[in-house]
Amino acid sequence: MQGSANGNDNRPLVLVVDDCQDVHRLLRARLRQEDVELVPATSGAEGLTLAKSRQPAVVLLDLDMPAMDGFEVLRVLKNDPATVHIPVIVLSGLHSPQDKVTAFDLGAIDYITKPFELTELRVRVRSALRLHQLVQMLATKAQIDGLTGLWNRAFFERRWAEEHARFARHAHPLSVAFIDVDHFKSVNDTYGHPAGDAVLVGLASTLQRECRSNDVVCRYGGEEFVVIMPDTTPSDAAQVLERIRAVLAETSWSRHPERRVTFSAGVAGASGGAMVTPEQWVELADKNLYAAKRAGRDRVVVTDMGALRAAAAA
């Protein structure tokens, strides 16, 4: 998830969009004791750029600005998926009831008229910060698998799109691995669903422990898991999966100590540039997973897409 902090500073960012420098100086003085970092923008266009790049916890927005007024800024913020959830407090010298109605209709959560009272401003900013924190918590929870505590499929799809775009820009190595528990239905049928759940939780724990810090481990669905491996060549990814496979094979399970659990895995990766869509990449990893199943299970099948391209060009 994207945070609202800047670098190593964990204070929430408050973006102030106002064309008046006096307002920026006043807010710096009035909010100096609050545990926030103020980020100034003196035009609507600058405010939109900063909102998207810095992801502030709250936006304080003036309405009466040249070129692009606050209503247009608010409209753009609330129409962009990247900024729609950022709470916006309007700070305006416009007192018309219709201006207030328009601001709220466009998505503002509060409207404070200038000149503002210090205590009221602080309380309303604190309230907006609490709202932002709650939204962030709910957004994170919605992307976490309830059984294993791993990221879920929705998170995988968003993160995979981001990593693929990064790969397309910079041609850094990238691999993705699909993992499926072998004979999982048999575990459920023989020992019961609690035993099957214990296997899923145990495999999730093993993956989290054995994968590298920059790997992204997700539960894809059922007994299937997926690992995004940034800056990782296909051969390196295969080595990581082989190590994890060996660790799991030696694991003893309290509900069925006489039966070991294994997995099959399919890896698709590239050491450099490859003209492959995100969907094609995932499809190849999934095909490799089923190739591992057909070959006898308890193994890793890997494809280097760069090697495939070189062979096709030869």
Half-sphere exposure of 168 (CA within 13 A, CB side): 11
Q: Which two tokens stand for residue 243?
A: 């190590």
Report how many helices (DSSP H) and strands (DSSP E) the chain contains, helices first: 11, 10
Active-site positions read: 223
**Cβ within 8 Å of residue 54, ≥6 positions away:** 6, 13, 15, 39
Residues 158, 38: Cα–Cα separation, whole Å: 29
- Which ranges of the chain would DSSP assign to H, the alpha helix? 21-30, 44-54, 70-79, 97-106, 118-141, 153-170, 184-191, 193-210, 234-249, 278-294, 305-313
